[in-house]
């Protein structure tokens, strides 16, 4: 199969270029990551992140034929050749397909992605009703691969100020949690022209989420929660 891959080596300082490859998949190679691993035998200078190889760790996010996705979840069948691989758009490139995610994680930390509860600790765990637990479905599954934020035009233009779809989905995960008592503070933090309201409901995030989640829906819920609070 033919591939065209974005190459950048910080040590030479040369501008990024596209390199053509031809690699034959072997029996059992089903996903793009399988092919990339085979390619690495050919060219061990090719750099990309991967770990779990089954869509749980979220490290092999990249731009595949113009759309963001996880190499390990992208089937080789049906991929148009040459398969064009580029790093996540809008993120600083460290090397080849590896991007610097510092800012992305800074936004994640800013929304305080942990349970805040100022009530005394119960003797056993804090219980939730099945309905309360169901509210977290579609939110807790996020693996922070950054496919969504790196496909969001609003995030491309304001990566320093807009939290981005991933961070906002995570923020709503805690707003929606019945055990969290900091909802008001969380909403106060998000009620900002840049942090939340840079979202223009383009829905690129939901289009590319490899876990099938809908950050745009989470953002809509945050906006409605803010509206309900102010009225």
Partner 1 sequence: MDRPPPRLPVFLNLAAIRFPIGAIASIAHRVAGVLLFIALPIVALLLDASLRSEAGFAAVRDLLSSPFRVVTAALLSWALVHHVLAGVRHLLMDVGVGSELARARTSARLVLVAAPALALLLLVWGLT
Contact 100, 92 (CB under 8 A): yes
Q: Is 15 in the site for partner 1 (CB under 8 A)?
A: yes
Largest CA distance in the chain: 62
Interaction between residue 166 and partner 1 (CB under 8 A): no
Q: Per CB under 8 A, which region of 23-31, 92-100, 125-133, 173-181 contacts partner 1?
A: 92-100
- Near partner 1 by CB under 8 A: residue from 43, 81, 100, 134: 100
Give whichever of 72 and 99 is closer to partner 1, judged by the CB atom.
99
Helix (H) or strand (E) holding 153: helix 153-157
Fill in the DSSP letter of residue 42.
H
The least distance separating partner 1 from the CB of residue 15, rounded to whole angstroms, comes to 7
Q: Of 23, 180, 7, 193, which Cα lies nearest the Cα of 33?
A: 23
Taking only Cα atoms into account, the Rg of the chain, rounded to an integer number of angstroms, comes to 20
Q: In what order do the strands lie in the sheet with 2-7?
A: 17-22, 2-7, 83-86, 61-64, 67-70
Q: Which of 40, 53, 161, 217 binds partner 1 (CB under 8 A)?
A: 217
Closest CA to 174 of 119, 123, 120, 225: 225
Q: Applying CB under 8 A, does 220 fall inside the site for partner 1?
A: yes
| Residue number, 25 or 89, with CB nearest to partner 1 | 89
Residue 199 tokens read as 């979202």
Residue 7, both tokens: 């190459």
CB of 110 to partner 1, least distance (A): 21
Cβ neighbors of 146 (< 8 A, separation 6 or more) are 58, 61, 88, 91, 99, 101, 104, 166
Shortest Cβ 203–partner 1 spacing (Å): 5
Give the one residue of 2, 22, 92, 185 binding partner 1; rule: CB under 8 A. Answer: 92
Please give the residues from 139 up to 158 whose contact with partner 1 meets the rule CB under 8 A. Answer: 151, 153, 156
Number of chain positions touching partner 1 (CB under 8 A):
37
Q: What is the C-alpha to C-alpha distance for residues 209 and 39, in angstroms, rounded to an integer? A: 26
Instruction: Select the residue interacting with partner 1 from 59, 74, 166, 214 (CB under 8 A).
Output: 214
Q: Note whether 87 binds partner 1 by CB under 8 A.
A: yes
**With respect to partner 1, which residue has the nearer C-beta, 1 or 94?**
94
Interaction site with partner 1 (CB under 8 A): 6, 8, 10, 15-16, 63, 65-67, 84, 86-94, 100, 151, 153, 156, 200-204, 206-208, 214, 216-217, 220, 223-224
């Amino acid at each position: 199969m033919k591939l065209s891959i974005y190459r950048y080596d910080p040590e030479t300082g040369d501008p990024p270029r596209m390199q053509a490859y031809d690699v034959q998949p072997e029996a059992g190679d089903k996903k793009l990551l399988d092919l990339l691993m085979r390619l690495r035998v050919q060219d061990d200078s090719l750099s990309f992140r991967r770990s779990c190889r089954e869509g749980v760790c979220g490290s092999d996010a990249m731009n595949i034929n113009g759309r963001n996705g996880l190499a390990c979840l992208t089937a080789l069948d049906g991929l148009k050749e040459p398969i064009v691989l580029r790093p996540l758009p809008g993120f600083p490139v460290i090397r080849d397909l590896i991007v610097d995610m510092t800012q992305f994680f800074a936004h994640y930390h800013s929304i305080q992605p942990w349970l805040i509860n100022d009530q005394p600790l119960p003797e056993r765990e804090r219980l939730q009703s099945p309905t309360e637990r169901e509210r977290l479905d579609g939110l807790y599954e996020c693996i922070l691969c950054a496919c969504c934020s790196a496909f969001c035009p609003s995030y491309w233009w304001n990566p320093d100020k807009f939290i981005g779809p991933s961070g906002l989905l995570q923020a709503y995960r805690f707003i929606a949690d019945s055990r969290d008592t900091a909802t008001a503070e969380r909403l106060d933090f998000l009620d900002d022209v840049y942090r939340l309201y840079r979202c223009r409901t383009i829905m690129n995030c939901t289009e590319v989420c490899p876990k099938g989640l809908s950050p745009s829906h989470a953002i809509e819920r945050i906006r409605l929660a803010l509206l309900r609070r102010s009225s």
